[in-house]
Chain A
Amino acid sequence: MVSIQVGDIDIIVHGVNTDTKFKQQKLPAWQPILTAGTVLPAFFAIGIAFIPLGIALLVTSNGVKEFVYDYTFCKDANATDGSTCSAKLESAGSNASQLGLICKCEEIIELGEDYEKNVYMYYGLSNYYQNHRRYVRSRDDSQIHGDSVTASSLNNDCEPYKTKYVNSSLQYLPIAPCGAIANSKFNDSITLTYIGQSPEVSVGLDSTGIAWFSDKQEKFNNPSSWVGFTNPPNWNSINVYDLSSDTSNDGYENEDLIVWMRTAALPNFRKFYRKIVHSGTFAEKLPKGRYRLNIDYAYPVNAFDGKKSIIVTTTSWLGGKNPFLGIAYIVVGCICILLGVVFLVIHIKYGKK
């Protein structure tokens, strides 16, 4: 504000100087007005870009070879009546896992074509809500980070798998690792044998390199001592430091555990199980033919109508076999071109007015 003393000239100067284009809302504007004229080319451009891209994606996806085998109801190898492992576990009741009950079963599968390297094995679970709110919370990241924790400092979200009464020490000890996620760790073990030639060759399976590097490096670390902990109830007698004979893959740093602990987003999910070791017979590929799956069936899924499957797959730059993206791109591209045509017609017919 200028006081009253200031004369004409000063006021004008004051007006011009402080009133920038910004203040007067007169900034230059580039105005991409969304009219038929600008929207039309955009639609066509999107259409033209999307359709070939979609085809490329579809081709990529179709190039991926994937074999899925549902083994939920595989036959108990030790049973004579042809009953299933699933039934065996169910009959053991709710504490099958806690008893450490293992049912052996064998399945023969046939790969219809060669699986070029690299080939991976996944296990799949369906109807399994690893994304349940309370389940997702049920962990203690400090504990698996290797920080020293006590029974009281453990995250309460781990309940009811936070502490366990241990007869030998007559007290409640913290569970390592605590929480429902760790407790429900997938514990089927699967081996693969190529029986398409004789002698049979068992396929080498690598259980390392399946977890995120960042997880293994930073997030999961073993504590300095395992004393004063107990194992999760469902793990029977197995302790976390017994998960592998390889010390670099043991304890919290066990990659199967790490993979399991990264809870899946969707109720039907697959998790990385093993990498096929490409050597010997399998140096270039997993040849087509018959294979035998030997499964230590210990993971009960009946209670929630779950399904377990084993997936053998190659991979592309895009990931696994999934035609969705390719199809979606083609569809959206077509819709865009269609809209473009409709707009063009409207534009030609009424646009001039």
Chain B
Amino acid sequence: MGNALKCCNIRNRAGPIIRRVTPNHLVDEEHPGIKPNAKNHPNRDFMSNRIRTTKYSILTFLPKNLFEQFHRFANLYFILVVALNWVPQVQAFGKEIAMIPVLFVLSVTAVKDAFEDYRRYRSDKKINHHNCRRYSGKEKRYVKTEWKDLRCGDFVHLSCDEIIPADILLLHSSDAQGICHLETSNLDGETNLKQRQIVHGLSYNNGKQPQSKFDVSKFKYVVECDLPNAEIYKFLGFIKNEEDEKISLNKSNLLLRGCTLKNTDFVEGMVLYAGHETKAMLNNRSPRYKRSKLERRINQDVIYCVVLLLLLCFVCAIAAGLFLGEYKDSTIVLFIPFESAEWYNPYFQGFVVFFTYIIIFQTVIPLPLYVSVELVKLGQIFFINSDINLYYEPADKRIECRALNITEDLGQIDYIFSDKTGTLTENQMEFKSCTVGGTNYPHTPEFEDDLSETGSRYSLANISRASSVMENLKLEPGLQREISSMCLRSLNSVNIDVQETSHSQRIQEFFLLMAICNTVVVTHHAHEDLMDDSGSILNGGAKASHHQSTDSLDKTPNPRPRESRSASLTLPETPAARKSTLSPMVFDTPPNGRKSLQNSSLPPIATTSSSEFSLAQDLRARLELTGSSIGTPSEGSIASSSFLSDGSHNSRYEAESPDELALVRAACTYGCRLMKRTVGKVKVWLPSEGEVDFEVLEILQFDSTRKRMSVIVKNPNSNEIILFTKGADSAVLSVLHKKYKDQAGHPDLKKMLQDTEAHILEYAMQGLRTLCMAKKVLDKDEYKKWRRKFKEADSAMEDREEKLIEVACDIEKDLELLGATGIEDKLQDGVPETIYKMREAGIKVWVLTGDKQETAIQVAYSSQLFSEKDEVITLNAENIACTRDLIEHHIDQIDKDLGKKKRSPFKKKSKSPVPSIEGELNAMKEYALVIDGKTLAFALTPPLNQEFLKLSEKCTSVVCCRSTPIQKGEVVKLVRDTYKKLTLAIGDGANDVSMIHTADIGVGISGQEGMQAVMASDFAICRFNFLQRLLLVHGHWSYCRLARFSAFMFYKSLVVVFSYFWYQPFSHFSGSLQFDSIFTMLLHVLFTALPPIINGILDKDLSADTLLRQPHIYKTGQQDKLYTRFTFFSALLDGLWQSSVLYFATHLAYSSEQVGIWEFGTSTMVALILVILLTGAIDTYSWIWPQWLTIVLSFVFFWLFSILINGIWFTFDHPANPYWVMQNTMVKPIHVIMVALAVTTALLPRSVHKG
């Protein structure tokens, strides 16, 4: 990729750094038949749209892969040892045979790499061979082309739901306003639709009619733009038109590769960046590499191994020198043949033999450890992935393991940092309460009784509930009455007359605001393109009907409302469709109502929350960004488009956030219906007026500084310009008109504010999310003045965002309060149990949320994070000194409390021999800490943060509310770095990315808020309660398995190395081995490799049910109990014992026999392999057939292999010349008797320990 960047636009290096793209059809006209890479082709330097994400090609695979593998230290070490074995003086094993293990490990890794690369290659190929339509200058029409053949300067025609093949400048859209919508979840993970605009101000008809029909052949402009860069949100460029005016291009004109076209029949545009130069490809991130805690431990033990290796080598080398030095004249010793006289020098031989011993004892560092740990983890991942209990049916999603090498960390988590919204809660917002003008309209459950009493009046509401589409929204009778009375009075407008502001008017405005102050997009029909895949235009008949359906909503009420309604109730065949199809909400006439609300004329509205809608896109997102192919792009697009066409006559809402969706839906329920949103226009159906087209003058987007958003609209009836603002209560209440604060002037207003504030607090106490609504009528001149400033800020090149915020704040002041809403975010299923179990398991749970303190505390209680007996400590401070005092005060207080508790109840008990720990725990009071964002900022400053941690450590759970994304990350970092404990962060939104990145394990919830959290995470799950199983079961298993696997691997190499060692005193410390080198080389990689790996993947110490029932078992992992610093030494001791038993049993048994070195070794080898396999068997907890099978197979394989290999005469295994050795060994009864004795004795300590 780096090369790709460098090679392009070399010629531009000296000049202005821009890219100049010439339309290819122009080039074709000038130079017919020119090749795209011909010298005089203006676009020749730009990359084509063919992508290649593979690392290797067939030719480069071997050298490149080997080169990469040699970068790993362990591999390099073993290669060096192999090289050392080629030095004749030092040589210990058969030269060729000594390479087997290293080659084996290298080739296993190479096969793995090759397989991964092949998958990338296949996915590349699939993407490259995708079809799209490209304008052919020769044929003067669009023709079918494969993605890979697209080049910069090509014109492309795209239909709805097509994936965009390259970065394309939008030049024409089927939409009259020249807009189209994009779904960008592949790129930034946000599932909401982004609006894109065509380039305005260009003429295609020789400059006469600017808006005339777009024709590619008339486009004769050269586009100048930025060099390729990875910034998705930045694009600048310009086109010079005939008058030499620069028409500037910005990001809203660019369609990015990987996005999906939505809500538009078709678009046309020119490719500016292709292939690897597209922003999507430049943003490709490789998966990150983490090293687990256990692995760090293991690496420490590898250092012990190195020390042991050197120690053994030194001892043996010195002994070798001493042995040789004992002879008066070693040159006449018959069995010491050195080539020249000076080599008989003991010092020299000691030196030489040192290296021989390095070769012999090399396996003390377990060569296959690294590769087999990877294999074990892959196996664990496979089983975690296929766990049906982590499968979320509504989304048809399994858990997704994105990091492959930290499974065992899941079993050692000490801290969980959780987001609240969308993680603990569903993030499916339900409109619960509102307060308008100081009057509370709680949609209380008691109302339900009311409803049933009043009976059939609300029958339609009942129907809508029965169809399970209104999501439990019960209409508030009072509110409904107000609306209907307003309809009765038939007020002429949304007219804002300050003197006469009636309550019902305020209510209508309130709902109007809810309906239009947002970014919700209404879609209402399936998009059809008239061009087929090969670029030819379909006939006109389809076109006519198509247009009719497109425009039906604009022109007349839907002619078939009844049918479509009944259809929408019965039609859905898929659960997704059923869920998302909202039957038309129809009001029955209120008790005293006379005016019918023309309900039949209402077009049915279907809403869908964007996440359901974009599941297929999520799949593709992963495909594009990680290269792992789960579904194909084409499948995805088919799926989503057919989904759309299911409800082709229904409209649906697509919102950026679920809050907005809930508000719009609620407004819709109360009759204030958002019907259509286009650039600069909103069509709303109002109960009092029917359809009204508001002109949207400006939208001031939400940002985290202002914490509010506004729209400025013009009422077509009254021509008033109104600013509607909605936002966090603090953000809105602080910018109200000062008359609300003025006691004297407006006591009623003051009271209204107080009431509203009281209601907001009440909502928060119920755990609702609150939003405040306000409005302001703008003076025309004032607006005009402001607008100029706004345009200036908008077009600013530097600090545009800051300037925009400033300007927005200018107009968002002196607002009039309308009311506030309370939206419930339901807790996900199983959250309280999960949190309870986490706490049982000794995991500290912190909730970091951006919500209000009251809401957060409420959720903390309802999710069992705080229990009733907990004492909640709240830290709210205005400055750092105050924060310090508070923290210190609370620490003292707790210490005092605990001290008292400890002393008083235990004085009496102290006589009992074993004071039960549980009793102590019960006696202790538990504390919970709540801290708000401001105080948290103080508490995180360096000297104070340790104090803060001290306090938080004394508390079982901590809630940080009003915290910013960066604070979340800082908190995680603080805990992680100070305590060196394992942390897990779980979240679902972009605001959790920083903490997910910081934590040792990041878990993403693939939920409502897009893919960003998932993209940053190591594991992606669908529901919070999956965490329970992931940690308690899979985490524990993985940790337990890997801990025992690693211990076993160490034991295995130690026992082998020591059985080499015991032979040294009896072979003159010459570096001689009793084993045939074929066996020593294959011992680890073939004969004993499989059973531990199978155990590492499949063994279960306890069943899943037990682990879930008794969460405290999890503490064994937290406290590193299964792999301690003693683990290595116990492996060492066991290795020493077993090897000495094996060696000396053989030695003594054969001492009075004529025994050759190879029979001797083979006899030991049989016992050795049996001992290793059986030791593994003793370590096994649950016996299932793969374990049986591999153990039996391993031994049988070794046995048959040795018989076979010893039955053939060959010389390459010099000096072992193993012909018929195994056969001659095993026919002797002494062999079997010795093996039985040695194996039994060797296993005694371990089975005693186990027993």
Contact = CB atoms under 8 A, between A and B. Distances in A.
Nearest to B1182: A29
A8 B574 CA distance: 7
Contacts of B1182: 29, 31
Interface string B1157-1180: 101110000000000000000100
Interface string A243-269: 000000000000000010011111111
B575 interface: yes
Interface in A154-205: 155-157, 159-161, 179-180, 183-184
Interface string B859-875: 00000000000000000
A137 B573 contact: no
Contacts of A319: 1152-1153, 1228-1230
Interface stretch (A77-85, A102-110, A122-130): A122-130
A270 B1244 CA distance: 33
Contacts of B92: 133
Given A25-B383, A25-B1100, 10 more contacts: A3-B635, A39-B1250, A57-B1233, A183-B334, A212-B1224, A265-B1074, A266-B1066, A304-B327, A320-B1152, A322-B1148
B1214 A132 contact: no
A27 interface: yes
B1214 A155 contact: yes
Contact of B335 (A46, A135, A142, A219): A135
Interface string A139-153: 101100100000000
Contacts of B1157: 130-131, 136, 263-265
Given A3-B639, A131-B1067, A265-B1157, A270 B1152 contact: yes
Interface string A313-329: 00001111110110011
B915 to A, nearest CB: 18
B508 interface: no
23 contacts: A11-B396, A24-B386, A24-B387, A27-B1186, A33-B1181, A34-B1250, A128-B334, A129-B1067, A133-B1071, A136-B1215, A137-B1215, A145-B1209, A157-B1215, A180-B335, A214-B1219, A262-B1156, A266-B1066, A266-B1155, A303-B330, A304-B333, A318-B1230, A322-B1151, A328-B1241
Contacts of B1159: 265
Given A24-B387, A132-B1072, A335-B1244, A4 B576 contact: yes
Nearest to B1241: A332
A272 B1072 CA distance: 23
Nearest to B1100: A25
A317 B1067 contact: no
B1068 A132 contact: yes
Contacts of B88: 156-157
Interface stretch (B336-344, B486-494, B974-982): B336-344
A149 B991 CA distance: 78
B630 interface: yes
Nearest to B1156: A262
A159 B339 contact: yes
Interface of A: 1-8, 11-12, 15, 19, 23-25, 27-36, 39-40, 42, 46, 50, 57, 66, 94, 122, 128-139, 141-142, 145, 155-157, 159-161, 179-180, 183-184, 212, 214-215, 218-219, 234, 259, 262-272, 300, 303-304, 317-322, 324-325, 328-329, 332, 335-336, 339, 343
A275 B811 CA distance: 117
Interface in B1134-1156: 1145, 1147-1156
B1234 interface: yes
B1247 A39 contact: yes
A267 B1157 CA distance: 10
A335 B619 CA distance: 63
Contacts of A321: 1152
A339 to B, nearest CB: 6
A233 to B, nearest CB: 11
Nearest to B1210: A141
Given A24-B386, A141-B1217, A266-B1155, A133 B616 contact: no
Nearest to B619: A1
Contact of B1181 (A31, A128, A263): A31
B574 A160 contact: no
A343 B1250 CA distance: 12
B631 A180 contact: no
B1153 A160 contact: no
Contacts of B1211: 141-142, 145
A113 B1066 CA distance: 34
Contacts of B1183: 29-32
Contacts of B396: 1-2, 4, 6, 11
Nearest to A138: B337
| 9 nearest A-B pairs in the assembled complex, by CB-CB distance | A265-B1160, A214-B1220, A39-B1251, A180-B337, A184-B334, A133-B1070, A133-B1072, A29-B1182, A27-B1184
B1066 A267 contact: yes
A135 B337 contact: yes
A181 to B, nearest CB: 9
B1248 interface: yes
Contact of B1237 (A39, A145, A272, A329): A329
B335 A4 contact: no
Interface residues of B, number: 95
B245 interface: no
B1072 A324 contact: no
B1240 interface: yes
Nearest to A271: B1154
A156 B1214 CA distance: 12
B436 to A, nearest CB: 39
Contacts of B386: 19, 23-24
B1148 A212 contact: no
B575 A8 contact: yes
A116 B125 CA distance: 83
Nearest to A219: B1219
B332 interface: yes
B1145 A270 contact: no
A348 B1071 CA distance: 51
Contact of B1156 (A35, A141, A265, A322): A265
Contact of A184 (B331, B335, B640, B1248): B335
A339 B619 CA distance: 60
A219 B1072 contact: no
Contact of B1214 (A8, A157, A215): A157
Contacts of A259: 1154
Contacts of B838: none
Interface string B294-314: 000000000000000000000
B1147 A46 contact: no
A3 B1072 contact: no
Contacts of A335: 1244
Pick the most buried of B339, B1072, B1185: most chain A CB atoms within 10 A of its CB: B1072
Pick the most buried of A24, A136, A179: most chain B CB atoms within 10 A of its CB: A136
Nearest to B575: A8
Pick the most buried of B639, B640, B1237: most chain A CB atoms within 10 A of its CB: B1237
Contact of B1154 (A15, A214, A272, A303): A272
Nearest to A128: B335
B642 interface: yes
B1209 A23 contact: no
Interface string B64-92: 00000000000000000000000010011
Contacts of A24: 386-388
Contacts of A161: 337
B1237 A1 contact: no
B817 interface: no
Interface string B381-400: 00100111001010010000
A134 B1066 CA distance: 14
Contacts of A94: 329, 331-332
Contacts of A7: 573-575
A298 to B, nearest CB: 12
A25 B1181 CA distance: 14
Contacts of A215: 1219-1220
